[in-house]
Chains A and B, each alone.
Chain A
Amino acid sequence: MNKIIKKTTLLLLAGFVSFSTVMQIKSKPEKYTHVTFETIKNAVNELGAIKQENQALLDMENLNKARLEQLIEASKKGSDNLIKNYKAEIEERKIELGYYDVKGPGIIIKMYDNDIIRPDWYDVNFDVVHDGDIQIIINDLRLAGAEAISVNDERLTSKSGIQCGGPTIWVNDVAMATPFYIKAIGDPNKLYASVTAPNTYGDSLKEIVGLEASVVDEITIKAYSGDRNFKYAKPIKEDS
């Protein structure tokens, strides 16, 4: 009796081992690389991000469709209505182009040179805020969805440039010196994160020169005051 139990146990377990081995072979592990949980988590995150992006694009499509619908409706009711519609849109675009002072929630970033007294041989370039630093910070803010940005109250438009001028920096043909106050209107949390989150440019720049970001409930950003004329670019009009 005892012997039968022993043999049955052996039989069952030997069967179990070969069963799981075969299953393992069938799942073809050589086709897969060995991944850690970390990689899987990253892949899942990436997938989530792509899905989110996809959703955003779909939303955008719906929005545009609705807008088209609206225009068609308006055109049916007569040209006055259509003109009104376009005027509203022009106003919106003017905000984007910096024609008006705007206000809203956002952040203010103060960037300033170090005022540490260094020995003569020390390269002063390590202590000053460069045009490139400001460009990258502004780029980060734009990517985080900033709707209006100004540097020391110079509104940035699509024609703006930021250039090095020795100890100063030129923005929109206006020279300015440290400290630089960058104001940005948009989702304050996103904007704040875009310059202070670990591994962002702002976060690493903080170790080298001064950079302080603060969330503000309401800031005012002035309109663009410079030249708006186009000398060379002429629009190509489509005849419809």
Chain B
Amino acid sequence: MLVILIGILIGIIIGYIFPYTYNPQYSLYISVSILACLDSIFGGTRAIMEDKFDTVVFLSGFFLNALLAAFLAFLGEKLGVPLYYAAIVTFGGRLFDNFAKIRRIIVQNLRNNNSKNME
């Protein structure tokens, strides 16, 4: 958990210092990709907590999901149907799913600690 918070902090700092910005033309693709990446991060955190973390699965999911989301946005633009909604719904839903599981694990850990202290 701590690792992720540190990573996020470092990223924010570098991002603010970094003098360049994206071409706004691609802002939709990047937004959708960010959502996919965020989902992977949450999934990875959960996997670490459940001791099921697999680096290859995590890495491939991180990049391929982002690419797929961006591709859906691109394809949707070509077809005139906002296909990136699919990415938003899926990854958004999974984000909450993963978050709920992380929450439960943390709550469970806290309770276990408490009960140990009580004894």
Contacts and interface: CB of A to CB of B under 8 A. Distances in A.
Interface of A: 5-7, 9-24, 26-29, 31-32, 34-37, 40
Interface of B: 3-12, 14-16, 18, 20-22, 24-25, 27-28, 30-31, 33-34, 37-38, 40-41, 44-45, 48, 53, 55, 58-59, 62, 77
A40 B40 CA distance: 33
Nearest to A12: B7
B100 to A, nearest CB: 20
B34 to A, nearest CB: 5
A27 B3 contact: no
A28 B21 CA distance: 9
A13 B62 contact: yes
Contacts of A24: 22, 27, 30-31, 34
A11 B55 CA distance: 12
Nearest to B77: A36
Given A6-B48, A24-B27, A26-B16, A11 B7 contact: yes
A20 B9 CA distance: 12
Nearest to B19: A26
B55 to A, nearest CB: 6
Contact of B4 (A10, A26, A27, A29): A10
A11 B22 contact: no
Contacts of A28: 24
A13 B7 contact: yes
A23 B24 contact: no
A32 B55 CA distance: 38
B44 A17 contact: no
A32 B23 CA distance: 11
Given A6-B48, A29-B27, A32-B27, A13 B21 contact: no
19 contacts: A9-B55, A9-B58, A13-B7, A13-B62, A14-B4, A14-B41, A18-B8, A18-B9, A18-B12, A19-B12, A19-B14, A20-B33, A22-B11, A23-B22, A24-B22, A24-B27, A27-B21, A28-B24, A29-B31
Interface centre among B15, B20, B41 (most CB of A within 10 A): B15
